Amino acid sequence: MITAETEQKLIGKNINPTSMRLLVLDLLLKQNSAISLSDIEKGLETADRITIYRTLKTFEENGLAHAIDDGTGSPKYALCLEECDANKHHDLHVHFYCTVCKETFCLPNSKIPAISLPAGFSSAELNLVVKGVCNKCPH
């Protein structure tokens, strides 16, 4: 059920709370792990892929969600920390991909360490994915 709090999350990030954006945000809020575009599409049967993709891009651009490249070939999406905004994502944390259940988790308490690059190199993006078995799956 979409609440006034869900709508306020969008407004707080300067995102117009359209019905599609509210539905996508509500779905993301209910997730325990990052979710792919295909899974969002399955969860929102009446929505088309392009509209969902545009919604996710708007969320990324405004610091509400981030995309995770976990090496599966399909980006996963998860909500950002509150500090993120349109200027910068402040949630440079480790992500964990479970090789058993195939889920990708944000580990916000595990920060990516500072990386020093050689002279002449400049980073545009930083992504650290640890692969293994999560705490829900049998080891």
Q: Confirm or deny that 95 is annotated as ligand binding.
A: no
Q: Report the sign of the C-alpha dihedral through residues 44, 47, 50, 55, in that order.
A: negative
Whether the per-residue pLDDT at 37 is higher than 80: the answer is yes
Tokens describing residue 114:
């500072």
Instruction: Decide if 102 is inside a domain.
Output: yes
Q: Is residue 18 part of a domain?
A: yes
Could you tell me the residue range of the domain that residue 45 belongs to?
Answer: 4-132
Select the more confidently predicted residue: 45 or 116. Answer: 116
CATH number at residue 75: 1.10.10.10
106 in a labelled binding site: no
Q: Where does the chain have alpha helices with state H?
A: 4-12, 19-29, 37-43, 49-61
**134 labeled binding residue:** yes
For 103-125, what is the mean pLDDT?
Answer: 91
In a domain, 95, yes or no: yes
- pLDDT band for position 133 (cuts 50, 70, 90): very high
101 known member of a binding site: yes
Does residue 35 fall inside a structural domain? yes
**Domain-embedded: residue 138:** no
Q: Is the pLDDT of residue 38 over 90?
A: yes
Q: What is the pLDDT of residues 40-99, one digit of tens each?
A: 999 998 889 999 999 999 999 999 999 999 999 999 999 998 888 887 776 689 999 999
- Consult the annotation and say whether 26 binds a ligand: no
* Number of domain units in the chain: 1
According to the model, what pLDDT value does residue 92 have?
82
For residue 139, is it within any domain?
no
What pLDDT is recorded for position 31? 95
